[in-house]
Amino acid sequence: MLQQEKTIKFDNNGQFRIMHITDTHMEDDNIDASLWLIEEACKRECPNIAIVTGDNVLNFDEPSKTKRYIDRLMEVFRKYGIAAAVTFGNHDSETGALSREELMLYYSSFDCHVKNSEEKKPFSGGTYNVPVLSSDEKSIKFNLWVFDSGDYDKEGHYGCMSKEDVLWYMKKSDELKNNNGGHAVYSLAFQHIIVPEVYDALKLTKKRKLYSFSHMYNKNDYYMFDPDVTNYGTLNETPCCGYENFGQFDAMVEKGDVLAVFSGHDHTNAFGVRHKGIDIVNSLSTRSQSDRFSSQYGYRIIELDENDISEYTTRVERWYNMFTLSDIKAIKRSGDKYGVKIASGVKFRGLIQRFMTKVGRVFCHIVTGRKNTYKH
C-alpha cells in the first residue's frame, strides 16, 4: 500500500481536535454496530486525529480475519480523511496469531495511519510519538505520545509500559526539548492500561463503602473518589492497572511535558484525577451492542488551542446522548434501516439505564452523602 506522510497540524483557526477511541473489541456480534456509531461520531466531530488505544480488534486465530476487521475500522478514518494513531491493549495480540509488531506494520500500511519516522524502531509495537505542527507548519507546537502498555506480565497480571519504552520516552522527550529552545514540548499521552499511580489520586478506605472499589492487587484496600483531587467524571469499577511498574509516571513527572495521560481498558470508567501535576484520565469503551452497558459507552474528545497549549479541554460523548428524535427521523428518511435500529436502540436502552442510574445515585447521595460522579 502507498506510504504517504499525513501532516498532523493545528488547523487554520489554531484548533486541534482529538477523538479518543478505545476498547472497540470488534468481533462478529458488534463490529457492524460499533463501526456505524464510530462513523456517525467521525461525521459529527471531524477530529484532526483519532487515537485508538487498544483492544481494537480481537486477535482471532486466523490472521486474515483480524486483518479484514482492521480494514473495516481503518476504512472509516480513510473515508472521512481523519488521521489515525493506533496502539494495543491486552487482547490485540492475545492469541499470538499476529504479534504487536506485525499488527503495527499492518495498521501503518494504511495511508491514514500516522507514520513512525524513528530510525530506531520502538521496542514495543505500539510505542511512538506524533508531533503536531503549528498551523503555519513552521514548528512542532505540541506532541502526542502513543504508548504501548503491554498485555500481561509473567504471572498473568495486567502489563505496563516496558523499561525500554520508558527509557525511549525520556530520550525522545529530551530531544524534543532540545529542539524547542530548551523548553519541554507540551504533550498528551495515550495508552491502554491506566498507570498504577491512579490509586495515589483516589482516597483509601480500609472498609468497603458504597462507591469504593477494592485495589486491583490488594483486595483489603478500597478506593473511592477523593473530592479534593477529583476533577470530573464517574468511577464505576476498579482501575485495572499493571502489577509491575517501570517508572513511566515518575519519568513523565520528571520530564514535565505531559499534561494528561489517557487510558481505556476499564470500560465503564470515565474520569479524570490529578496527581503530581498530571491528569490521569480514563475513557469509556467505544464498542456497542455486545453487553448491557453498551448504550452508555462512547468516545472522548480532547481539544487544544494553539494560543495556549498549556491547557486542554475534554468531554465524553455517550452513544445514548448522540441522537435526538429528529436525528432518528432523518436517518429513517435517508433509508438507512440499520442506522435507525442502532440509533433508536442506544437511545431508548440509554433512557432506561440513565433513569435507573440517576435514581440510584440520588438515593445513595441522600442516604450516605457519597457520590461517584463529579462534574467539572
Query: Footprint of Fe ion on this chain (CB under 5 A)?
Result: 55, 89-90, 265
- Report DSSP letters for 207-265, one per residue: S--TT-EE-SS-TT-EEE--TTTEEEEE--S-----SS--SHHHHHHHHT-EEEEEE-S
Q: Measured between alpha carbons, how far is 179 from 329 in angstroms, rounded to an integer?
A: 53
3-state SS, one letter per residue, for 71-136: HHHHHHHHHCCCEEEEECCCCCCCCCCCCHHHHHHHHHCCCCECCCCCCCCCCCCCCEEEEEECCC
Other beta carbons within 10 Å of 352: 11
Q: Measured between alpha carbons, how far is 210 from 250 in angstroms, rounded to an integer?
A: 31
Q: How far is the CB of 266 from Fe ion (least distance, A)?
A: 8
Which of 106/158 has CB closer to Fe ion?
A: 158
Q: How far is the CB of 339 from Fe ion (least distance, A)?
A: 28
Which of 48/87 has CB closer to Fe ion?
A: 87
Q: Measured between alpha carbons, how far is 250 from 90 in angstroms, rounded to an integer?
A: 23
Other beta carbons within 10 Å of 96: 8
Which of 265/349 has CB closer to Fe ion?
A: 265
Which of 141/192 has CB closer to Fe ion?
A: 192
Q: Measured between alpha carbons, how far is 241 from 203 in angstroms, rounded to an integer?
A: 16
Written as nine digits, the cell of 315 is 468531554
Entry field: residues in the chain: 376
Interaxial angle between packed helices 63-79 and 100-108, expressed in degrees from 0 to 180 and rounded to the nearest 10: 40
Written as nine digits, the cell of 153 is 506480565
Q: Measured between alpha carbons, how far is 102 from 125 in angstroms, rounded to an integer?
A: 8
Which of 55/165 has CB closer to Fe ion?
A: 55
Other beta carbons within 10 Å of 160: 27
Q: How far is the CB of 299 from Fe ion (least distance, A)?
A: 16
Which of 89/150 has CB closer to Fe ion?
A: 89
Which of 148/306 has CB closer to Fe ion?
A: 148
Q: Are strands 278-282 and 258-263 parallel, antiparallel or unpaired?
A: parallel
Q: How far is the CB of 267 from Fe ion (least distance, A)?
A: 8
Q: How far is the CB of 91 from Fe ion (least distance, A)?
A: 6
Which of 90/162 has CB closer to Fe ion?
A: 90
Q: How far is the CB of 57 from Fe ion (least distance, A)?
A: 13
Q: How far is the CB of 287 from Fe ion (least distance, A)?
A: 11
Q: How far is the CB of 96 from Fe ion (least distance, A)?
A: 17
39 exposure class (CB count in 10 Å sphere: 0-12, 13-18, 19+) = middle
Q: How far is the CB of 110 from Fe ion (least distance, A)?
A: 23
Instruction: Kindly calculate the radius of gyration of the chain based on its CA atoms and give it in whole angstroms.
Output: 20
Which of 90/187 has CB closer to Fe ion?
A: 90
Which of 20/172 has CB closer to Fe ion?
A: 20
Q: How far is the CB of 55 from Fe ion (least distance, A)?
A: 4
